[in-house]
Chains A and B, each alone.
Chain A
Amino acid sequence: NAGVTQTPKFQVLKTGQSMTLQCAQDMNHNSMYWYRQDPGMGLRLIYYSASEGTTDKGEVPNGYNVSRLNKREFSLRLESAAPSQTSVYFCASSLQGAGYGYTFGSGTRLTVV
């Protein structure tokens, strides 16, 4: 049972480049989430999808877009990367909703130079 799988695990981008972070879960969870984690800032919610076909902004959505491709997959896109987007990105999923407990992926470490 893989749980939540994120790809890639590491990425270095140049300022202005674009990329898509992929996330897939095999637990038949309804809700999926993208967080970023920065030193001293904790986990901050970027976007979430409460169910297939819906997406909503979180605390820090600027500079990002998301797609809930199907029930299993939720991708995060950076259209024009900036150094301020250097961070560790975590995808998470939940069966009932975020407040009942997440399963997190192992993270993507992104550096924008």
Chain B
Amino acid sequence: QKEVEQDPGPLSVPEGAIVSLNCTYSNSAFQYFMWYRQYSRKGPELLMYTYSSGNKEDGRFTAQVDKSSKYISLFIRDSQPSDSATYLCAPGGSYIPTFGRGTSLIVHP
């Protein structure tokens, strides 16, 4: 079992929609989580780094962790076609992370 699990999608939404991307994790010891964004034929880039309590907001992006259900979410407000990419989650902190498979997001005009 991978450390994190994601639905690979694709998730297709219209421009302007609120997007919710989700991961589940298995190890209750995880304290930090990372979200990466990967455009087609590019390397992943670190999007957000969050501690496992409350929400973290960065522009149109909000990361949320629910420790009780071991559930991580990334919300994208006012989604744009340029947000079309694969989003990967991974545990952070001192671990060498095992990445989820990623969720493919398509935002159509």
Question: What residues of chain A have their CB less than 8 Å away from a CB belonging to chain B?
Answer: 4, 33, 40-43, 45, 48, 58-59, 90, 92, 97-107
A41 contact set on B, CB distance < 8 A: 101
B46/A101 in contact, CB under 8 A:
yes
Given A40-B8, A42-B88, A42-B102, A98 and B42 touching (CB < 8 A)? Answer: no
B44/A43 in contact, CB under 8 A:
yes
B102/A106 in contact, CB under 8 A:
no
Other A-B contacts than A90-B43, A102-B36, 7 sampled, CB-CB below 8 A, are: A33-B96, A41-B101, A42-B100, A92-B43, A102-B44, A103-B46, A105-B43
A99/B97 in contact, CB under 8 A:
yes
Given A43-B44, A99-B91, A59 and B49 touching (CB < 8 A)? Answer: no
- Interface secondary structure of A, over-half rule: mixed
**Residue interface mask B94-107, A partner, CB < 8 A = 1:** 11111111100000
Given A42-B102, A43-B99, A97 and B46 touching (CB < 8 A)? Answer: no
How many interface residues does B have (CB within 8 Å)?
25
- Interface secondary structure of B, over-half rule: loop
A-B contact pairs, 16 of them (CB 8 A): A4-B43, A33-B96, A40-B8, A42-B2, A42-B102, A58-B96, A92-B43, A98-B96, A99-B95, A100-B93, A101-B49, A102-B44, A102-B46, A104-B44, A104-B45, A107-B43
Task: Give A57 to B32 CA distance when docked, in angstroms.
Answer: 24
Residue among B46, B49, B96, B97 with the highest chain A CB neighbour number at 10 A: B96
Question: What residues of chain B have their CB less than 8 Å away from a CB belonging to chain A?
Answer: 2, 8, 32, 34, 36, 41-46, 49, 88, 91-102
A107/B42 in contact, CB under 8 A:
yes
B42 contact set on A, CB distance < 8 A: 106-107
A33 contact set on B, CB distance < 8 A: 96
Residue of B nearest to A98 (CB): B96
User: Distance in Å from the Cβ of B45 to the closest Cβ of chain A?
Assistant: 7
A58 contact set on B, CB distance < 8 A: 96
Given A40-B8, A59-B98, A100 and B92 touching (CB < 8 A)? Answer: yes
Which 7 pairs between the two chains have the least Cβ-Cβ distance? A104-B43, A42-B101, A43-B99, A98-B96, A99-B95, A99-B93, A101-B46
